[in-house]
Amino acid sequence: MTRTARAAAIAAAATLLLAACGGTSDPATETTAADAEVEVSAEEESGAVDENPEGAPMDDGGDDTAFETEAGDVVDDDGNLVGIEFGDGEQIEFDLDAAASGAIAPGTRFYGASEAGGEFIISTQIDPVEDLEAYREKAGGDPVNYMSADIDNREGAENINMYQIAVYDPAGNEYVYTSADEAADEWRDLLGSDDVDTYNEGIDLSNKYLNQGASPHQRSTMILTGPELPAEITAVIAMPRGAFESATTVPLKD
């Protein structure tokens, strides 16, 4: 199984899990039962149906049930993939109970993957970043929450810029986090340009945290800022490659 196919399988499992427990879904990507029937019928009429496109072993019922595991994978007694190896050997395990509960604690880490093959781990709450926090206080900006995204795009086919990360609470409220350079720009505007040194400090900070994503073959850590986290999290949705790709993430066990 290629890294891209594997990422898609994990993302699909996360989407189904959240849908089953009433989590957030993306209306733009939903397919109704009627639409699905039409699509299947069209394929059957054309004779183009491939019952086993991956060529995996099939059970007697003809369904493709095999999952090709890799080193570091953790599979439960029911055959579900519940953990994988990330990056340079970090073993991570999905917290499916937390995901199903719809009440995930702030600070939880989440795993996600891009359709193009890159992977990432989002730390939803990290210690304030020293240079950014000092500049925010100098500008009198509102308190923010700092997040990080550990992006491993060494097997990805396209850039990951982590356009935004959206966190949702049980009431359906959305909390949006973007690259820290945007916050630096806002704080610089609050200070104005009368003090040239302070203004230039803001430009330097903005440039430091600009374009933090990862190109193919690259691994990098990105800092994001946004509002303070809610007391409970129901879902975290990432946009790893701009506004046109939405990736459901899975909470991780400590």
49-100 tens-digit pLDDT: 455 554 443 444 444 434 567 777 888 888 888 899 999 999 999 998 999 9
Q: At 27, is the pLDDT very low, low, confident or very high (cuts 50, 70, 90)?
A: very low
More confidently predicted of 119 and 21: 119
Query: Token match 């104005």: residue?
Result: 192
Residue 125's closest CA among 227, 198, 51, 217? 227
The pLDDT assigned to 158 comes to 92
Greatest mean pLDDT among 2-11, 25-34, 175-184, 211-220 = 175-184
Under a CB-based contact definition with an 8 Å cutoff, are residues 247 and 238 in contact?
yes
Under a CB-based contact definition with an 8 Å cutoff, are residues 219 and 153 in contact?
yes
| Mutual angle of helices 180-191 and 130-139, in 10-degree steps | 30
The pLDDT assigned to 182 comes to 96
Q: What rounded mean pLDDT belongs to the chain?
A: 82
